[in-house]
Amino acid sequence: MKERIVLAYSGGLDTSVAIGWIAEATGAEVIAVAVDVGQGGESLETVRQRALDCGAVEAYVADARDEFANEYCMPTLQANALYMDRYPLVSAISRPVISRHLVAAAKQFGASTVAHGCTGKGNDQVRFEVSIQTLGPDLKCIAPVRDLALTRDKAIEYAESHNLPIETTKKNPFSIDQNVWGRAVETGFLEDIWNGPTKDVYDYTEDPAFPPAPDVVTITFDQGIPTKLDGRPVTPLQAIEELNRRAGAQGIGRIDMVEDRLVGIKSREIYEAPGAMALITAHQELENVTLEREQARFKRTVGQRWTELVYDGQWYSPLKQNLDTFIQDTQKYVSGEIRMELHGGRATIQGRRSDTSLYDFGLATYDTGDTFDQSSARGFIDIFGLSAKVASGRDIRVKGAVDDLSDVAELSND
């Protein structure tokens, strides 16, 4: 039996050509694996048939949209994950779910190697290969673009000479990756960081400078997971999709940043994540209402480390799993409703309501009904500032002694 290689297959030019390219370079049979994480476009059946027409001996397709939303997007939401305080891990969280299906297909079809279409200078090669090696330690990884010298020019020439059923003449100036959590755009004229993005960069969002009428949405959360929009029950996938439409129509979720890649270079990236950013904004505000102060402070530290691990391709690492446990425990009281106005590129909080709220009107009010005992404040301040007060006294004594010695020395010199 011939060796078999599983290929992460998108249906585009590069991975379509990679099927034959890998077979010729290695002598192995290629199994194409296409995973739908909400990227839109062609049907899985169309993608599957194209893989077979391009020479794959098997084509494994998976509708992983709900899996992706439930098991990857929701933990990202609960962590309020924003790399460099801005990027909601659009591509980073799709790689581990795709890798899981690649490893499953390798086991199903008896493959010894997994291939992906990443270059040697990006983050995704790390995310794929670390995930694959963690889930399938016996599997090898190859990357045709990186390891087998498959350039775009060679891909076009190969597709035309082999009459592959794939478009080869039209070249999009951008490199685009998208899923239900958002859309990532890079390369082309965007590589000059002085250039502003043009209208054709965007697809998930409308121009926020010309918004429609304000859209007010109420999001209901249960333990950190959105369960209703405006009182209507929704699944996580449905919540993301609807807010992609509604927040996207208002131009919310556009991100233009110079990002620190894992491989050590800085890269200019454009992201669109309307649903993700609206949900994270609402979730953060509900946590402000329901998490105790020290718990909230520490969760921000944990969330940042969780985000860095996921960005760096460590979704299946022991530390990330440990942090998952902490984050999940913090969510048991993050239930309630957030009302937001979506308008002109902004998601603005208008109202908060929760049966598990730590907000106490009687303690907070300055009007009649105030239950806070203000006489306790003086003693609290005395104790709270005592250590600083003692240290300050020490500083004054030492400085005074030093100053006295300096004065004596100056008199002696005179």
**Annotated binding residue at 13?**
yes
Distance, in Å, from the CA atom of 72 to the CA atom of 181, rounded to the nearest integer, reads 10
Nearest to 312 by CA among 68, 105, 134: 134
**Annotated binding residue at 259?**
yes
**Annotated binding residue at 70?**
no
**Annotated binding residue at 12?**
yes
**Annotated binding residue at 123?**
yes
**Annotated binding residue at 99?**
no
**Annotated binding residue at 376?**
no
Q: Which of 65, 99, 124, 268 is catalytic?
A: 124
Tokens 């799709």 label which residue?
94
Q: Which of 4, 95, 100, 246 is catalytic?
A: 95
First to last CA, the chain: 100
14 is catalytic: yes
**Annotated binding residue at 198?**
no
**Annotated binding residue at 83?**
no
**Annotated binding residue at 365?**
no
**Annotated binding residue at 14?**
yes
> Got the DSSP string for 117-141?
---SSSSHHHHHHHHHHHH-TT-EE
**Annotated binding residue at 27?**
no
**Annotated binding residue at 354?**
no
**Which structure tokens are listed for 258?**
């110079």
**Annotated binding residue at 288?**
no
Check: CB of residue 117 under 8 Å from CB of residue 85.
Answer: no
Question: CA geometry: angle at 143 spanning 73 and 96, to 5°?
Answer: 15
Q: Which of 43, 63, 152, 175 is catalytic?
A: 175
Check: CB of residue 184 under 8 Å from CB of residue 254.
Answer: no
**Annotated binding residue at 271?**
yes
Which residues are within 8 A (CB) of 58 and not within 5 positions of it... i.e. 6 or more apart? 31, 32, 109
**Annotated binding residue at 124?**
yes
Query: Long-range contacts for 300-304 (Cβ within 8 Å, ≥24 apart)?
Result: 300/80, 302/79, 302/326, 302/327, 303/79, 303/80, 303/81, 303/327
**Which structure tokens are listed for 327?**
């984050």
**Which structure tokens are listed for 271?**
């992201």
Partners of 362 in beta bridges: none
**Which structure tokens are listed for 175?**
């490199």
Neighbours of 107 (CB within 10 A): 14
**Annotated binding residue at 169?**
no
**Annotated binding residue at 9?**
yes
**Which structure tokens are listed for 188?**
């082309």
3-state secondary structure of 174: coil
Tokens 């060796």 label which residue?
3
Tokens 């951008």 label which residue?
174
Q: Which of 14, 48, 94, 100 is catalytic?
A: 14
95 is catalytic: yes
Check: CB of residue 381 under 8 Å from CB of residue 388.
Answer: no
Neighbours of 376 (CB within 10 A): 9
Distance, in Å, from the CA atom of 305 to the CA atom of 210, rounded to the nearest integer, reads 37
124 is catalytic: yes
**Which structure tokens are listed for 380?**
């609290």
Which residues sit in the known binding site for ATP? Answer: 8-16, 117
Residues labelled as active-site residues: 14, 95, 124, 175
- Going by the annotation, the residues of the binding site for L-aspartate are 119, 123-124
Residues in binding site for L-citrulline = 87, 123, 127, 175, 259, 271
Annotated binding site: 8-16, 87, 117, 119, 123-124, 127, 175, 259, 271
